[in-house]
Structure 1
């Protein structure tokens, strides 16, 4: 999401107070923050940092709205108009407080809640940012401490696609995965169910690689090399029963410019989940072609095109098979007799 063309509708900051192993409390702001250059700059940074991060999970709202009331609160604000944005944020803080109290090692911070419009879509961003201490130049060129919100090291954040949610799209929530269980309480607060279907997610990842190769207009050999390296990594993870690391995948599959591939696979439209074990059935298209018509089926690997065993005539739209096995030759000759 580019910050150049988004519109900030509502913004507020509250304070969630909690030290690791300590009790939790909150300090609530009594009004929305007016849309000003400073507010816009802060929300721009939040949107940028969130969009850039690769370690995201995706999910849908839990069905039990009594235990996970986030969709009910959103419905009251977005659909019914029964509560305003400030009241929504205060009710959300109550849920966040209850959730973080169940996570002894979690720490508090400043809670940024922003409603942002982008490309006819409506988003709600929620982030927990800590304060860091920097250095600034004061009066008389003195050196002074300068506290700031450390969005560069954002660890706990989520985004709800309100437009997708209202259209009935299932996976309308995304959140930073964090390290270990750091994001569990935040996921509970969002009311997010992130059950991952490995086959579907693997298919989406393979499709994302294919679309990237097409957009880059890669020569055939370059594209095949990308697919083979990706297949090797995904096959290895699937065989070991270990989850995909997107960062490792892009480094191995496209080492010359991993950032480009990472950006493509992080695209909002793809919504590829994280931490799923790849389904090895779904990665075969990276190394194999498979097609069927009314009276025939065919499958061959990409190496066959390079070796000349399979020849595709682009101009005539024909496929030529060479080095036909003897058994098939006899069968074909037998059909002609």
Structure 2
């Protein structure tokens, strides 16, 4: 994960005013904010927090812009350039207020909008940040209460990869799913269609596990143990029709250092959704090797290597099979 500061093009903060089970209202700024060192630190911190968080949903804008107005607002600002950034964000706040009204448990906070660029893309970040009570020391060495932004708890946020969107890619919009359904209103506000295919998501999870093994440089025994543990856990979830929690995957599969695995699985390049039921077809590579050459096909479990039934000699690039089944032996030797 990059720690380089992002280049901020536009920045503004509005306020969503709402208590749980209460009505929603907004307090809006009339102009964008100057990019001060404090503003830069805040945006950098939120971007780093967002990238590191697991449990994100990925998708694209809904096509029905009558029911979902934010995609049209973003297009008007980015593509048509018919509205400026402050008009974009005020329009988005109107939609956020509407969706928050529909979610009883939604609560308010300061809503930061930043358009910027990191090492990879032009992006639009929207983050709802709460206030917490802290303690400060005054110039006279007195202790006093001090309200400040809760920089360590990013409850609700979304990000549009504007570069990928303009290139016509399929998945350029993400949002924090959080625990439970409270953040669902934020997905509706963004107009995000996050319909997932369990097969594709499971394949991405398997790829993420392979990435982890490669970057951690595990030995053969530790690698095979990890893959078999992953296969068993995901197979059980798939069999029981239970959904995946990426955070739980890391705890179950690599309990000694789950944070290392979380960091790999949180990589934005994977675009790995939370909450899908594993497709058991897609986890076979965790347990089995399967390959095809012009004159033959071969498939075997990782356990066959440990037992010695399959031996690969990398010095001469050969595979030797032991304990050949009787019928195959007869087919090979004929009437001898």
Question: What TM bracket, shorter-length normalisation?
Answer: over 0.9
8 Å CA contact retained: 1:49, 1:151: no
What residue number does 1:153 align with? 153
* Partner Cα distance (1:103, 1:72) in 2: 23
- CA distance in 2 between counterparts of 1:3 and 1:207 reads 24
Q: Which has the higher helix share?
A: 1
> Are positions 1:279 and 2:279 aligned together?
yes
Partner in structure 2 of residue 61 of structure 1: 61
What's the RMSD between the two structures over aligned residues?
Answer: 1.3
CA shift in 2, pair 1:214/1:120, >3 Å: closer
* Equivalent pair of 1:160/1:172 in contact (CA under 8 Å): yes
Partner in structure 2 of residue 45 of structure 1: 45
Q: Which residue of 2 aligns with 1:314?
A: 314
For 2:192 and 2:265, locate their aligned partners in 1 and report how far apart those are by CA, in whole Å: 22
Q: Hey, what does 2:190 align to over in structure 1?
A: 190
TM-score by length of 2: 0.97
**3-state DSSP of counterpart to 2:96:** helix
For the residue of structure 2 that corresponds to 1:4, the secondary structure is coil
Alignment of 1:156-195 (within 5 A): 156-195=156-195
Aligned residues of 1:5 and 1:119 also touching (Cα < 8 A): no
Q: Is the 8 A contact 2:291 2:298 kept in 1?
A: yes
State the Cα distance separating 1:182 from its structure 2 match: 0.5
Count residues with an aligned counterpart.
336
Structure 1 gap ranges (5+): none
1:242 Cα shift? 0.3
Q: Which portions of structure 1, spanning 4 or more consecutive aligned residues, are displaced by more than 2 angstroms?
A: none
For 1:44 and 1:210, the matched residues in 2 are separated by 29
Equivalents in 1 of 2:272, 2:145: separation in Å? 41
Alignment check: 8 A CA contact 1:161 1:172 kept? yes
Q: Secondary structure at the match of 1:153?
A: coil
Unaligned runs of 5+ in 2: none
Give the TM-score normalised by the residue count of structure 1.
Answer: 0.97
Say if 2:5 and 2:44, in contact at 8 Å, map to a contact too.
Answer: no
Residue 96 of structure 2 is matched in structure 1 by 96
